[in-house]
A and B are shown apart, each in its own frame.
Chain A
Amino acid sequence: MYMTDLHWLSAADIAAAYAAKTLSPVELTQALLARIEKLQPKLHAFIRIDPEGALASARAAEAEIMAGRTRGKLHGVPVGLKDIIDVANLPTTAHSRVLIDNIASADAVVTGKLRGAGAIIMGKLATHEFAIGGPSHDLPWPAARNPWNPDHHPGGSSSGSGAGLASGQFPLALGSDTGGSVRNPASACGIVGLKPTYGLVSRRGVFPLSFTLDHVGPMTRTVADNATLLDVIAGHDPADPGSAATKAQNFGRELGHGVRGLRIGFIRHFHETDMPAHLEVTAALEIAERVLEAEGASVRTITLPSLDEFSAVNRVILTSEAWAIHAKWLREQPQNYGELSRQRLMPGAFIPAGDYINAQRRRLSMIAAVNDALRDHDILMCASSMDPASDIHDFAETSRTYPRQARTPFNVTGHPALAMCAGFSSVGLPLSVQFVGRYFADATVLRVAQAYERATDWHKRRAPIR
């Protein structure tokens, strides 16, 4: 195998190469560290690279694999972690001056699960400050850039996760998703991002943004890798009050089953009337519909509450809960926040408690509406981003397009939702589609996503970054 090819290997490819003894964890880790070093000045995907830790883990994995003690599909596979996720003895900064000296005393639950599976942690990845304030240019580290065009933003808030995956710096990453922060970079960077069912993945050791909206999710370049990563990080955590008491699942169990006979509800009003999408996004969604029909699914138009209604509920809940988390720091050290974070974290100070309670009440009726739609359909599909990623320096255009999305509904309701590449714009930027499933039917979401992936070739394109 040529060294230049290593950075595009999927986790499944890597596991196969280890099994065939054509690749070693140390060889792969060294190759990826070299690529990270080359791309970091252009893309800023990392806040902190951990070459010593990564190589130590690689050597340990290599020794175990050579001795025939393979732990599983992620043994010796590199992964990047959004820098709100604790890794023991490394800083968790949340990309903020507020936490610049915050050394994690223990691993987050998801970090521990990855270590247990033998994954190699390459370092901590760029994020919007506290998973909300970005893209920003007044923080201690630069904002991550989009590998498809570094003048454009890579989505957020899991910005480094998206940028690093799309540029071949690691095959797996974790992000968090409170209003779409796994699925936004997946959409902007042309990768696969899953917000699992609320409660499926522990959030313990992950810096919170909004307790009842936060999810941790897998980000990958292929759907199969996404299922494998979810297998490792999912599971009940009695110390996370939002954790669901689920049994272990094989989230890849439906992969390869195709979509023949599945009923898909297409939420057209999200991108046609609620928030009219860019013409190229609309065209990509129509093509996605035809692809799934050609694969044997039946697609029917359905209606849910409007994006404005979902967005209002999300905003009231998110800003109220975020204010409760940040109030003390915003009073005592506002200078340590970036401007966008200050503006986005303080609205909760001005929202009456009654509005928060009403948002939670309205949320329950929205959950019922999505559950009703999923009684008659196996999967829902809709837009993710309404526009391709904007120029990162064009503040007005970024401010206009960032909120134009259909991701927040499923943070409000907690249903599993996956965003993936659905083509490219005329200037070569990724476009996206979103699939949504029933509670704990994450495997079905992945099944549909893989059927779409197999029927198209978007995932085979590589960002032109060198």
Chain B
Amino acid sequence: MDEELFRALIRASGLERTFAAYPDDVRAAAEQALRTAGAIPEPADPRAEPWPPMQAGPEL
């Protein structure tokens, strides 16, 4: 992850203090998030609904 962007995201997330104390953990978390980025394709139909996020069968 670009260092400037990384620092900006830390500020946006309010994690400055956590980063100061545990830089390796915050970096590991960011790298994990980066590995996930783009792993899920956007649906072919942009109108596809995400709701309800979870509903098991017809009994709800």
Extra contacts, 18 of them, besides A334-B21, A364-B48 (Cβ < 8 A), are A197-B56, A244-B57, A244-B59, A313-B40, A332-B17, A342-B29, A343-B28, A344-B32, A347-B36, A349-B30, A350-B29, A352-B37, A355-B37, A357-B50, A358-B50, A414-B54, A414-B55, A439-B57
Distance of A330 Cα from B28 Cα, bound (Å): 15
Inter-subunit contact B29/A343 (CB<8 Å): yes
Q: Does any Cβ of B come within 8 Å of A315's Cβ?
A: yes
Chain B: interface size category: 35 or more
Can you identify 7 A-B contacts, CB atoms within 8 angstroms? A197-B57, A312-B39, A330-B15, A344-B32, A347-B36, A350-B30, A361-B43
Q: A349-B13, A349-B15 are in contact. Are A440 and B57 (CB under 8 A)?
A: yes
Main secondary structure of the interface of B (DSSP, over half): loop
Q: Nearest Cβ distance between residue B50 and chain A, in whole angstroms?
A: 4
Contact with A along B23-35 (1 / 0, CB 8 A): 0011011101110
Q: Nearest Cβ distance between residue B37 and chain A, in whole angstroms?
A: 7
Inter-subunit contact A362/B43 (CB<8 Å): yes
Q: Does any Cβ of B come within 8 Å of A375's Cβ?
A: no
Q: Does any Cβ of B come within 8 Å of A359's Cβ?
A: yes
Main secondary structure of the interface of A (DSSP, over half): helix
Chain A CB within 10 Å, residue with most, of B13, B26, B39, B49: B39
Inter-subunit contact A358/B36 (CB<8 Å): no
Q: Does any Cβ of B come within 8 Å of A106's Cβ?
A: no
Residues of B bordering A, CB below 8 Å: 1, 9, 13-15, 17-18, 21-22, 25-26, 28-30, 32-34, 36-37, 39-43, 48-51, 53-57, 59-60
CB contacts between A and B, total, < 8 Å: 132
Partner among A342, A365, A414, A439 whose Cβ is within 8 Å of the Cβ of B22: A342
Distance of A247 Cα from B42 Cα, bound (Å): 37
Query: Which residues of chain B are near A246, meaning CB under 8 Å?
Result: 59
Q: A334-B21, A346-B26, A361-B49 are in contact. Are A355 and B40 (CB under 8 A)?
A: yes
Q: Does any Cβ of B come within 8 Å of A301's Cβ?
A: no
Query: Which residues of chain A are near B29, meaning CB under 8 Å?
Result: 342-347, 349-350
Contact with B along A356-381 (1 / 0, CB 8 A): 01111111110000000000000000
Q: A313-B40, A331-B14, A334-B21 are in contact. Are A347 and B53 (CB under 8 A)?
A: no
Distance of A347 Cα from B25 Cα, bound (Å): 10
Inter-subunit contact B59/A350 (CB<8 Å): no
Considering the complex, which residues of chain A in the window 189-235 have a beta carbon less than 8 Å from any beta carbon of chain B? 197-200, 212-213
Q: Does any Cβ of B come within 8 Å of A348's Cβ?
A: yes
Query: Which residues of chain B are near A242, meaning CB under 8 Å?
Result: 54
Query: Which residues of chain A are near B1, meaning CB under 8 Å?
Result: 350
Inter-subunit contact A361/B17 (CB<8 Å): no
Q: Does any Cβ of B come within 8 Å of A319's Cβ?
A: yes
Partner among A331, A342, A349 whose Cβ is within 8 Å of the Cβ of B17: A331
Chain B CB within 10 Å, residue with most, of A212, A334, A415: A334
Inter-subunit contact A359/B56 (CB<8 Å): no
Q: Does any Cβ of B come within 8 Å of A455's Cβ?
A: no
Inter-subunit contact B28/A351 (CB<8 Å): no
Considering the complex, which residues of chain A in the window 266-298 have a beta carbon less than 8 Å from any beta carbon of chain B? none
Q: Does any Cβ of B come within 8 Å of A100's Cβ?
A: no
Query: Which residues of chain A are near B54, meaning CB under 8 Å?
Result: 198-199, 212-213, 242, 363, 414
5 A-B pairs with the lowest CB-CB distances in the bound complex, closest first: A439-B57, A346-B29, A350-B33, A360-B50, A312-B39
Q: A312-B36, A342-B25 are in contact. Are A439 and B50 (CB under 8 A)?
A: no
Q: Nearest Cβ distance between residue A265 and chain B, in whole angstroms?
A: 18
Q: Does any Cβ of B come within 8 Å of A339's Cβ?
A: yes
Q: Nearest Cβ distance between residue B31 and chain A, in whole angstroms?
A: 9
Q: Nearest Cβ distance between residue B53 and chain A, in whole angstroms?
A: 5
Inter-subunit contact A327/B14 (CB<8 Å): yes
Distance of A342 Cα from B15 Cα, bound (Å): 11
Query: Which residues of chain A are near B21, meaning CB under 8 Å?
Result: 334-335
Distance of A197 Cα from B2 Cα, bound (Å): 42
